[in-house]
Amino acid sequence: MIRLALILLSLTACSSTSDVGKEGDVVGGSCTTNSGPSGTCADGSKCVVDTDFPDGSCVKDCTAQVDCPGGSACIQENGGICVLECGDAGDCRDGYNCVAKSTLDPAGSAKVCILQ
């Protein structure tokens, strides 16, 4: 019985979408609106479509880094949003670059995926 439960749990974990990443539904994934049939952002996140994210990106509001899930950074854009962190452009969706942006608490900078 325990073995069956572990197998089912592992299958469920493998089939779930990633929260943060190029296709993340919390941070990083493409979107058009919060409620659209494709590119939907998870509850607690929102879709931002602007000059930095022309095809839309799921982000989370933040006032400090502790508000952001792992793999994302709280930058000063749009009053404070968690966006996908990166090491280089290969970590970002097609068309996006890995750019240093100013962060909120703690103040500094982080490399994130935006269009620039």
Q: Which residues pair with 47 in a beta bridge?
A: 58
Tens-digit pLDDT string for the chain (116 aa)? 444 333 333 333 333 447 999 999 999 999 987 554 445 799 899 999 889 998 899 999 999 999 999 999 999 999 999 999 999 999 999 999 999 999 999 999 999 999 97
Structure tokens at 46: 């929102």
Q: Which residues contact 107 (CB under 8 A, 6 or more apart)?
A: none
Contact between residue 27 and residue 71 where contact means Cβ atoms under 8 Å apart = yes
Alpha-carbon span 37 to 33, nearest angstrom: 9
Alpha-carbon span 64 to 103, nearest angstrom: 8
